[in-house]
Amino acid sequence: MKELARSAIDLAHRKIVYPALTSGDAQGDREIAHEKALRLMERGQDSDILMRIFNALYSFNDSIVATRFADTDLRNPIGLAAGFDKDARVIGFLDSLGPGTLKAGSITLLEWAGNEGQRIFLLPEDQGLINRMGFPGAGAKKAKEKLDVIDGTTHSALVVNIAASKPSFSSIENAIIDYAEVAKELSPYGEWHEVNVSSPNTPGVRGLQEPEVFAQFASVLAEFYKEESVPFTFKFSPDLPVDKLLKDVRTAKDVGAAGVVVTNTTTDKQIRDSLRSPHRNEIGGISGRPLTKKALDVSHTVYEYIGEELDINRAGGVINSEDLWDALTYGGARIVDIYTAFIEQRTSRPSLFYRMVSDLAKAMREHGMSSMREFEELRGRRVPFPNARK
């Protein structure tokens, strides 16, 4: 009966909801569609009945997929990446869909409009998208109002992603101060904080990854987070040269980070030149299927370097269950984020997290596994994905 209900809701989403969200002006500008989706979710999470139904349908209650990250117990290793719910508006609704983690943000200290003009471009022929948002959001104080209500109420682990907006980068010193201030403002919230030092859409952000700068930056934030007993991770770019990336990963380990997130979106020219969609030349970070191989290779490189000394949170290009499996094996990840798969027309559906988690459980059993701990023997290795649903 539950499977019939999940299939019926997916069908309604594909035939009715998704076309409605992407109609009119939203056909050309998917940021409009995104806002329409957020408003619909806000109404949905106000319905106790709907939330109980969704929680019953999409909670995958099987201990085989339970895991830990940042000293936090998680119901499964699959989460929604930062960027979808920048101001923590619909965490309650998203939680009802069954992810293991949910990320609010990126949240900046002050309200910021982000970059001007159209900022999201679909790449349908490539199963990806380009964004150049530039950290729009209502700021930390407004986010606190939402986080006050939802923190501690979700089945998924809430993670707060922090960043700094364009005015913060008048100097590296000012940027560090603003990151520290937003960290302080939001320190009571979330199971851990994710520090975004890798967005390509705000000038100055990626400069924080330069090893000498990052060492200074990371030590300042680490000192604060340790005083407040807040676990933290750093999110890195896939475009950072390997020698610099590994220096930063070592620094993250040395200052006491709970893990690293690899990767953010890419501006790689070779990837851009391979795109087929009409919007391929738009400025911004590329995500989705075009990023899959590069993000996986970066994750593997980090795992080969740091091993089990530091946990990896894989993000970027995880579109289906096989990508998830590859991230947890060859990529060496403990947890995995999705984003583009959640909003891209061919893969977007309410049951997405449930399907991927159930596929993972099936694949694990076909490999004779009984818990996520057994992935420790498979991390860093190429392991065939069983013939489960993708």
**Is residue 69 within 8 Å of residue 334, measured between CB atoms?**
yes
Is the pLDDT score of 388 beyond 50? no
CA distance 95 to 335: 16
Q: What is the mean pLDDT of the chain?
A: 95
Average pLDDT of 86-101? Answer: 97
What CATH number is attached to the domain comprising 227?
3.20.20.70
Average pLDDT of 119-141? Answer: 95
Whether residue 122 is contained in a domain is answered as yes
Average pLDDT of 125-146? Answer: 95
Rounded (to 5) percent helix, strand, coil in the chain: 50, 15, 35
Whether residue 312 is contained in a domain is answered as yes
Name, in order, each residue with C-beta under 8 angstroms of 233's C-beta and a sequence gap of 6 or more.
70, 192, 193, 194, 195, 252, 257, 258, 259, 260, 261, 313
Assign 389 a pLDDT band (cuts: 50, 70, 90). Answer: very low
Is the pLDDT score of 303 beyond 50? yes
Find the domain containing 167 and state its range.
63-377
Chain-centroid distance, C-alpha 301: 20
Report DSSP state, residue 385: P
Where do we find the tokens 């060859």? 330
**Is residue 15 within 8 Å of residue 352, measured between CB atoms?**
no
CA distance 281 to 301: 29
| Sign of the alpha-carbon torsion through 360, 363, 367, 371 | positive
**Is residue 142 within 8 Å of residue 87, measured between CB atoms?**
yes
> What are the CA-CA distances from residue 181 to residues 82, 137, 176, 199 (Å)?
19, 16, 9, 19
**Is residue 77 within 8 Å of residue 65, measured between CB atoms?**
yes
Residue 10 in tokens:
């997916």
Query: To the nearest 10°, the Cα dihedral for 85, 88, 89, 92?
Result: 100
Residue 337 in tokens:
């984020």
Residue 386: the pLDDT is 87
Average pLDDT of 239-249? Answer: 98
Whether residue 308 is contained in a domain is answered as yes
Report DSSP state, residue 332: -
Average pLDDT of 97-125? Answer: 95
Residue 152: the pLDDT is 86
pTM here is: 0.95
Whether residue 46 is contained in a domain is answered as no
Whether residue 141 is contained in a domain is answered as yes
Residue 15: the pLDDT is 97
Looking at the structure of the chain, the number of domains it has is: 1
CA distance 152 to 155: 9
Task: Answer yes or no: 199 catalytic.
Answer: yes
Is the pLDDT score of 4 beyond 70? yes
Measured in degrees and rounded to the nearest 5, phi and psi for residue 62 equal -140, 120
Concatenating the DSSP letter of every residue in 135-194 gives --B--HHHHHHHHHHHTT--SSEEEEEE---GGGGGSHHHHHHHHHHHHHHHTTSSSEEE
Nearest to 327 by CA among 358, 359, 293, 353: 293
Name, in order, each residue with C-beta under 8 angstroms of 325's C-beta and a sequence gap of 6 or more.
360, 363, 383, 385
pLDDT above 90 covers a percentage of the chain that reads 95
CA distance 143 to 277: 35
Whether residue 17 is contained in a domain is answered as no
CA distance 119 to 285: 10
Residue 390: the pLDDT is 45
Average pLDDT of 136-153? Answer: 93
Whether residue 352 is contained in a domain is answered as yes
Question: Catalytic: which of 59, 168, 199, 348?
Answer: 199
What's the one-letter identity of residue 210?
Answer: E
Per residue in 331-371, pLDDT (tens digit) is 999 999 999 999 998 999 999 999 999 999 999 999 999 99
What are the DSSP E strand ranges found in the chain? 67-69, 72-74, 78-85, 101-107, 120-123, 128-131, 157-162, 192-196, 232-236, 259-262, 285-288, 311-314, 335-338
pLDDT above 70 covers a percentage of the chain that reads 99
Whether residue 48 is contained in a domain is answered as no
Residue 83 in tokens:
């960027």
Name, in order, each residue with C-beta under 8 angstroms of 28's C-beta and a sequence gap of 6 or more.
118
